[in-house]
Structure 1
Amino acid sequence: MYKITVYTAPGCPYCVKVKSYLRELGLKFTEVDVSKSQKDAEKLVRRTGQTGVPVVEIGNQLVIGFDRARIDKLLGVR
């Protein structure tokens, strides 16, 4: 199984949705709150060119926003 990291921030409704969805699938993930770490926020901007969250990292692939179809495709579910 792939390593999954979810980059989030407080008050982000789509962050809540993506985390709930991953839990629904029974997947474990690491959550990184970019509001608490300038270093992580800067890393995310360098990698994506964006400041928005959520960003889901599945293996070495990035999914920007809660794109269920792309998440499913990368995980090989549904």
Structure 2
Amino acid sequence: MSLKITVYSTPSCPWCKKVKQYFKSLGVPFKDVDVSKDPRKAEEMYRKSGQMGVPVVVMGNQVIVGFDKARIDKILGIS
């Protein structure tokens, strides 16, 4: 499965660290975007999610706000 995953995060966000650790523990590749350093990416995240809170996880065409493990598992097909 080649699902494109992007995690919009900031270095100081504990839930961002948790979601990235979760993907790493599953061996699932993802792109980490630090929105604290890139205002254009922060704007892109806002357009996709409708809000400025992090983390925002984009999995294919699904947008998840926060670390919603159940939704992530469902999209990845993990029961």
TM range (shorter): over 0.9
Which position in structure 1 is the counterpart of 2:61? 60
SS of corresponding position for 1:71: helix
Give the Cα separation in 1 of the matches to 2:17 and 2:42: 18
In 2, distance between residues paired with 1:56 and 1:72? 13
SS at match of 1:53: coil
Q: CA deviation at 1:48?
A: 1.2
RMSD value, Cα: 0.8
Name the CA distance, whole Å, in 2 between partners of 1:27 and 1:4.
Answer: 9
Task: Could you tell me which runs of 5 or more consecutive residues in structure 2 were left unpaired when the two chains were aligned.
Answer: none
Which residue is equivalent to 1:32? Answer: 33
- Structure 1: segments with no counterpart, 5+ residues: none
Instruction: Specify the SS of the correspondent of 2:32.
Output: strand
Other structure's SS at 2:70 match: helix
For residues 6 and 44 of structure 1, the distance between their equivalents in structure 2, rounded to whole angstroms, comes to 9
Give how far 1:33 is off: 0.3
TM-score, structure 2 as length reference: 0.94
Equivalent AA in structure 2 for residue 69 of structure 1: A
Aligned to 1:47: 48
Separation (CA, whole Å) in 2 of partners of 1:38 and 1:63: 20
Equivalents in 2 of 1:56, 1:46: separation in Å? 13
- Paired with 1:62 and 1:38, the residues of 2 have a C-alpha distance of 19
CA-CA distance at 1:60 after TM superposition: 1.1
